[in-house]
Amino acid sequence: MINGAIPAGLLSAVRSERPLVHHITNSVTINDCANITICTGAAPVMAEAPEEVAGMVGAAGALVLNIGTLSATQVEAMLIAGRRANELGIPVVLDPVGVGATRFRTETAHRLLDALAIAVVKGNAGEIGVLAGTGGSVRGVDSGGIMGDPVETARECARSTGTVVSMTGAVDVVTDGSRIYLVGNGNPMMDRLSGTGCMASSVTAAFAAVADDFAVASAAALAAFGLAGERAACGARGPYSFRTALFDELAGLAPDDLAREARIEER
């Protein structure tokens, strides 16, 4: 298991530095993403007008690009913001929501990967399988699964895209194409609530903003988010009480909690 002091130290850094996380994101989950960023300890901004995104990302510690509710104008804004983030050395987290479901969505994901230096691709198994070209399916924006081994699928995606890949599932897989981290924190209730994938990208960006190693940061972020999910599920009566508890548990998560309870295996 990876030393718990590492994710704990990253959570402490987020809380002390309070980086600004710029989102160009999914309109369905935008409020949840803003609030989960705050609960992590960072500061959110949700700005997608092409006229202002370059200026806004210049003040940020990380940029999230989420293709969940795409438009041509939003894609333009993503490219402008992403190029400016690259110029400034600001990590970009791409959440390829529903890639494979439509031609526009799939082409946009590949266009962003080709045009920008993406630090982390965070997606579910179906999305990562589509990007890896190894076989993956989605239904709407939900994962339909993959054909092969999750670890090898994630590793192939990392190698083909040149990014860190953070693939969520019953066991999350994070890889840079060489190193592999398996994250065992989480709870099945997280799959019963819309937006947890988008929120995971926000948490990932907050951790990436204070890190040099984006693979370790991604694993630590998923461990923190998953641990909050475990704790939230204990008293939840259903998906919506779980949602409220998820925010509360992440906000109340202490670095020492993460040091003791993060389950990150390095393979």
**Sequence ranges of the binding site:** 46, 122, 168, 195
66: left (phi over 0), alpha (psi -120 to 50) or beta: beta
Contacts of 63 (CB under 8 A, 6+ apart): 21, 22, 23, 24, 57, 81, 82, 85, 90, 91, 92, 93, 205
Please give the Cα distance from 106 to 226 (Å, whole number): 28
Binding site for ATP, by residue number, is: 122, 168
Q: In which residue are the tokens 């198994």 written? A: 125
Contacts of 87 (CB under 8 A, 6+ apart): none
Write phi, then psi, for 124 (nearest 5 degrees). Answer: -85, 180
Contacts of 265 (CB under 8 A, 6+ apart): 1, 2, 181, 182, 183, 184
Please give the Cα distance from 8 to 257 (Å, whole number): 8
Angle between helices 214-235 and 5-17 (to 10 degrees): 90
Please give the Cα distance from 255 to 258 (Å, whole number): 5
Are 146 and 136 contacting, i.e. CB atoms less than 8 angstroms apart? yes
Binding site for substrate, by residue number, is: 46, 195
